A = this chain, B = another copy of it.
Amino acid sequence: MVEPGALLYEGKAKKVYATPSPDRVVVEYKDDATAFNGQKRGTIEGKGAVNNRMSNLFFRLLEAHGVPTHFVEELSERRTVVRRVDIVPVEVVVRNLAAGSMAARLGIPEGTALRRPIVEFYYKNDELGDPLVTPDHVEVLGWASAEELEEIRRLALRVNEVLGEFLAAQNVRLVDFKLEFGRTGDGRIVLADEISPDTCRFWDLKTGEKLDKDRFRRDLGGVEQAYQEMMRRVEGGLGR
């Protein structure tokens, strides 16, 4: 069993610890919740455990479908060993329906279906409020090469296909989600960060009920229950 070493980094929802191996770190998921670039803060009981387990189940599912990820080994309810990667400073959002910031910015009713999935890039910078950027910005400002961006886009759309199909069978519509990617020591692009109700919009396929962090962002109540319900459906779908 890998014992976490020194704390390397503490973010809004996760801590990262060193391990004896230079190319492995331990991620620990917290129950702390923030929204609107940290302006809203709270706690979602049990969130860390859900996000850890759900991310790991999704990563294994994606690996089985040819998407390389940083996942190595689940250590405990909240801790997981992952590959240490150099994070590409671009948040990648895939959207199947207009919702959230896209609906607001472009004046489109939330829930409007998109003709095909849209991939958006946001510059990962809290001080600037994670601004939307174009592929041109990413390439010219040197955050990723054109080839890396093409690979990131391809992988993001593949994640959308695999998870969208899996979740539809669990009666969940994958509305949109945010991914982060990293470079391994040998320069390969792999999926990193997490995939959870914190980073996705999940709507019940029949009722449209929100089963994600929007219940916290928008004060809809039933936040913990939504995270647990999503966990049940994902585990059910994987026969666990």
Contact = CB atoms under 8 A, between A and B. Distances in A.
A154 to B, nearest CB: 14
How big is the A interface, by class?
20 to 34
A127 B123 CA distance: 25
A65 interface: no
Interface in A102-146: 105-108, 114-116, 118-121, 123, 125, 127-128, 131-137, 140-142
A121 B127 CA distance: 24
A136 B120 contact: yes
Nearest to A115: B140
Contacts of A127: 107
Nearest to A116: B140
Contacts of A108: 141
Work out how many copies of this chain go into the complex. 2
B106 A123 contact: yes
A128 B116 CA distance: 23
Nearest to A105: B131
A118 B132 CA distance: 15
A134 B131 contact: no
A63 to B, nearest CB: 27
Given A106-B128, A132-B132, A137 B123 contact: no
Given A133-B106, A135-B134, A140 B114 contact: yes
B136 A107 contact: no
Contact of A105 (B105, B118, B128): B128
A146 to B, nearest CB: 11
A134 B106 contact: no
Contacts of A142: 115
A103 to B, nearest CB: 11
The 4 closest A-B pairs by CB, nearest first: A118-B136, A105-B131, A134-B134, A107-B128
7 contacts: A105-B131, A116-B140, A120-B136, A121-B134, A132-B132, A132-B134, A135-B135
